[in-house]
Structure 1
């Protein structure tokens, strides 16, 4: 990858000991890879400097540290290892002249990223595409992703998340995308930023690092599309949407297993069978299409990539439930907009519709009202029964009214849901990450109801 002296020069750091070659970079001393550069991050409750020498003994080539008292066989001293990680990633990214798409948004950014990656895999090969893994979308995860760029890569896709102003500005200046996409702005993180308007401005920071000859991809259906067009400046703009006039749009027919699309683009029209359900996924697919076209991919490969898209873990995943029921696992995260999208998917199915919801986080002073609105929306959408878990979700149950039950534990909730699960039932489970609603999914896909009853602990419906 590079010698320690090259990194020292790029970071204006101090070389310690031997000038070794390192072939990868990591931040976890418990998962050292041979010839890796260990970056000793420091936080409120930990100090990676303590593990610097140990990491070398485990096989790391060297360690990047901020402690000037360390005597290492091979190391690099900088004033702030977290900032240096970003600086090194920016330096490394500059070596690669390839299309790089940066994706942000309140909802759907991971799905759009995975859809785009699927298209790019169809255009080249899986090994030719670098994309963000998991939730590596912050000021540590993004640099670690970019530092995996290698000569075989022809495309890169980077997800950029945020929970405060300035974060995406920092990330996009590291990544220097050739394509920058904003999927939407909703009330996710409103507790931190104060208003959806501030969230929209924070998302708009993504264009600060976009190349002057790059392409800004904007959701024409979003209220803040005019703001983002202004922030994109003189760069080329491509819009996508299903309601407003857009460069990439579609006629669509939704069903319980996906949608049939007639997609219109500046490169022509094409029919696509999208294998994931929901109108929100139609928009996600149009966003990925717009980005792929901006990266030089042809429509035939767009079709191939979207039609082979396998979905994302914890996002509307279909699983075989007990008693022949279908369980839809949408437990990765939740905010009001994604809750409504999930409810729409469940409402479109036939038979008994069982909805299991946990609390939504980061909603600030509006949390109670927003949970109430979700309960009302579920009732209006024709959901059969609502089961809730978490203190804030009591408001959802109260707003839903009859046929809503609140529980204290995942086990008692799952036992109650199981009683209504038949071959004609669909159960959708969703909640914010901290609620760990996958625990409920795990119980509902067990072999039989007796297993669930055996797991019941103290607590019950209210």
Structure 2
């Protein structure tokens, strides 16, 4: 499918006239100016671009307008209360709110393209699922646009959409929320044709309040697309998604489940709409459904949670017409986003699960299960955990609750960092945790103790919220091999 507009796809250009029309703005000159890109980060200004001066709590892009023009920006979108005199060679677009204008411009630009736009949302696993899917699609589609990193919010989403070009055959857009109403706003800009919801779990509870609110907000990603006649992929293994999806009326639903002895006979969907898989060995999944029968794939990241995410991507790939050989070909291009279930084997045989990019209760529990799966009989296990942030009034309870997972997975050494992890420390002490239990005041101290205590063939997980910068523990720990 190709990009379309009222004239011809070969003439699709991001002109000053298009920007003016999108923003309901009048422009008297420079209408034919064609912008090379749309940029909101002053450090990334390129010659001929349109610079959008965003204003946040800690920054104000308006202070960089002059610099952007000096670097070659040919157009400026700015808040109209900002006193700015534009010379005749630069197109100016004064607006009420630059962030809203940025999103509106992205929405209009996205509407010009008649390509599959896949929305990846959920409390856990968005970025990993997005990366796997974008890689798989390359097995058939030459040019696939994807969200860079975890740019999944009010700025990152329009940034991604404004990068769509005529050569793109599909776009994989990650959508994240941290407040009520955000999902609806994001979807109105993305306008997805396919929607994948990975999971529902405790996340960003400072504004989302509780798991029930999270569920309501996240499910909008599926209901929105279903109402528009698009395809939705339902993760049956998430009980909240499964239950809420029962209310969605659509004939274009693909159901996905990772089968084991607990749910082997739980569902009776037809093969045409049900993709089911089972883990084979350590790194393979056998999949049946949607034209596949007992087909084995090597999964790019280990762990049951990642196997389930892989199933979701296979469902989308099959919807878009990819065959088994194309899926496997695309998988060869996969590269981890970094700090997400990365497995590193060190010279002495120690295995480190670098899962430090982010954390919430569900992802920590999944990481501990993966840690247990890696450990051989008799192998010692270390869990290095930093605070889980943005959990609101539930933060104490949710940190304490991790104690049961640590005990269940028989973790031998628990090293903690951050003020909230003192709740977990206290809970483990109350439960008379039998392993080694320590809390550290710094990344350096934790890494030093880990280096001293770990034995050859040990297995370690390093995990924490983005703001805890647990990669510092890994960076210091790995120095021991230098």
Q: Given the two structures, how large is their TM-score scaled by the length of structure 2?
A: 0.87
Equivalent residue pairs, number: 444
Deviation (angstroms), 1:53:
3.1
Structure-2 residue corresponding to 1:423: 456
Would the alpha carbon gap of residues 56 and 70 (structure 1) be closer, same or farther in structure 2, given more than 3 Å must change? Answer: same
Correspondences of 1:379-398 after superposition (within 5 Å): 379-398=407-426
Cα shift readout 1:440-461 (whole Å, capped 9, x = no counterpart):
000111135xx8xxxxxxxxxx
> 1:49-88 alignment to 2 at 5 Å?
49-67=62-80, 69-73=83-87, 74=90, 75-88=92-105
Aligned positions of 1:295-334 closer than 5 A: 295-306=320-331, 309-321=334-346, 323-334=348-359
Does the 8 A contact of 2:290 with 2:318 survive in 1?
Answer: no
CA 117–440 in structure 1, closer or farther in 2 if over 3 Å, else same: same
SS of 2:139's equivalent? helix
Q: 1:9 pairs with 18, 21, 25, which one?
A: 21
Residue 28 to residue 65, structure 1, CA distance change in 2 (3 Å): same
1:284-339 CA distance string (max 9 Å, x none): 00111112222222233223334663433101112344754222210010011100
Shift of 1:275: 3.4
Q: CA deviation at 1:31?
A: 2.4
Q: Which residue of 2 aligns with 1:223?
A: 239
2:3 matched residue in structure 1: none
Q: CA deviation at 1:408?
A: 0.8
Counterpart position of 1:31: 44
Tell me the equivalent position of 1:118: 135
> Which of 261, 264, 275 is the aligned partner of 2:300?
275
Question: 1:254 and 1:365, CA in 2 relative to 1: closer, same or farther beyond 3 A?
Answer: farther
1:365 shift after superposition: 2.3
1:267·1:299 contact (CA, 8 Å) conserved in 2? no
TM-score w.r.t. the length of structure 1 is 0.91
What are the equivalent positions in structure 2 for 1:376-455 lying under 5 Å apart?
376-400=404-428, 401-402=433-434, 403-448=436-481
User: CA–CA distance in 1 between the matches of 2:345 and 2:29?
Assistant: 57
> The residue matched to 2:38 in structure 1 has which SS?
strand
Distance 1:322 1:192 in 2: 44
| Aligned partner of residue 157 in structure 2, secondary structure | helix
Structure 1 residues 227 and 82: CA distance shift in structure 2, 3 A: farther
Deviation by residue 1:228-252 (Cα, 9 ceiling, x = unmatched): 4256433511111124536111121
Paired residue secondary structure (2:371): helix
Pair 1:42-2:55 in alignment: yes
Match of residue 190 from structure 1:
205
